[in-house]
Amino acid sequence: MKYLSAILLLATVLSSGCVSKHVIRDRSAWETEAAFVNNLVVAEQNAISALMNRSCRCDGDGEWVYAGAADQICAEAAEALVVVRARWAWHYQMMLFNAGTIEERPAEKAPAIPDPSSLCEEMTDE
Amino acid sequence: MSKKNPIKEAADIAAPALGAAGSKALAQAIDDLAKNTDNEIGQQLLGWVEGAVKTNGPGAVVAIKDWIVDLAEGDKIPPFPDPPPPLRIQSDMLAALQNAEADDKSKFRDQMVLIGDALGSVLLGIVSGLIK
C-alpha cells in the first residue's frame, strides 16, 4: 500500500509540471456558461434572421442585394446564418455529450451546410 | 533538434511580390506537408490553407505561418488563426475535433466497463472463497 501511494504521489508530482491536455471545470459554472452561450447564439440567430428579412433580398441570380445594389453585409450575414442554423445545435449537443452532461451522442456526421441562396425565398417573403 | 520544415522555408521566402510563382511553390509545399501529416484534422486544415494560397496568394499564409507550423508539427490543434478561416471551415474543424474527443470518450468508457467486469469477477472469486 505504501509502495502504491508513493507511485501515485510521484505520478502526481511529475504530471503537475506538465501542461495538461485536459481542463477540469466546476460543473455548475460550465453548464451555466454552455447554456448562456447557447441562448446567446440562438438570440443572435433570430436577430440576424429578422434584420435580414427587413433589409436583404436576392436578385435573379441569387446574389444578395440591399436597396437594389449588391451588398456584402447581407451576403456575409446569409453565410453566417446558414452555418449557425445547420451546425450550432449539433456542436452544442456534442459539447454537452463530451462534457458528460448528456448520455446520447449526436449523429457522427454533422449536418450539411446549405448554400446561402437557400435563404432567398425566406427573405423575400413580405 | 528541430527538423527541416518545408512550410517555414517556403513561407520565409514567399511574399506577395512573388505573385503566382510564389503561390504555386507555397501551395505545393503545403500539399506535400498535408500528405505527410499524420493528422486527419491537420490535413483538412492544410487543404484549406492550400486553397487559400491558390486563391489569394502567399501573403495571408505568411501572416499565419507560425500557426501552420504548429498545426503541421504539433501534438495539438492550435486554436483558430487570426484571421480565422471561413465559418464553414471552422465548423468542420470543430466537428472533427468533437468527434475525435467523443470517440476517445466512448473508448475510455468501454475500457472502464471491461475493467469493472474484471474486478467484479475477481471480487466474486474472493467472496466465493470466503464463503467456502
Residue located via cell numbers 527538423: B3
Give the rounded percent of residues in chain B with a pLDDT score beyond 90. 1
| pLDDT higher than 50, residue B1 | no
Q: Rounded to 5 degrees, what angle do the CA atoms A110, A113, A119 make?
A: 145
Residues B47-105 have pLDDT tens digits of: 777 777 666 666 666 666 677 777 666 666 667 777 777 898 889 888 988 998 899 87
The CA distance from B26 to the nearest CA of chain A, in Å, is 29
The helix/strand/coil state of B121 is: helix
> Are B14 and B62 contacting, i.e. CB atoms less than 8 angstroms apart?
yes
| pLDDT higher than 80, residue B129 | no
> What single-letter amino acid sits at B12?
D
pLDDT, residue B86, reads 84
> Are A79 and B87 contacting, i.e. CB atoms less than 8 angstroms apart?
yes
pLDDT, residue B77, reads 67
pLDDT, residue A126, reads 54
Residues A68-96 have pLDDT tens digits of: 899 999 999 999 999 999 999 999 999 99
Global pTM reads 0.70
C-beta atoms of A91 and B105 within 8 A: no
C-beta atoms of A94 and B88 within 8 A: no
pLDDT, residue B84, reads 78
| Residues of chain A under the 50 pLDDT cut | 13, 15-17
Dihedral over Cα of A48, A49, A51, A56: its sign: positive
> Are A5 and A12 contacting, i.e. CB atoms less than 8 angstroms apart?
no
pLDDT, residue B58, reads 64
Q: Which residues contact residue A17 at a Cβ distance below 8 angstroms, ignoring those fewer than 6 apart?
A: none
Rounded to 10 degrees, the C-alpha dihedral B52/B77/A79/A94 comes to 160
Contacts of B76 in chain A (CB under 8 A): 21
pLDDT, residue A23, reads 84
Interface confidence: ipTM more than 0.90: no
The CA distance from A40 to the nearest CA of chain B, in Å, is 17
Out of A80, A94, A97, the one facing B87 most closely (by C-beta) is A80
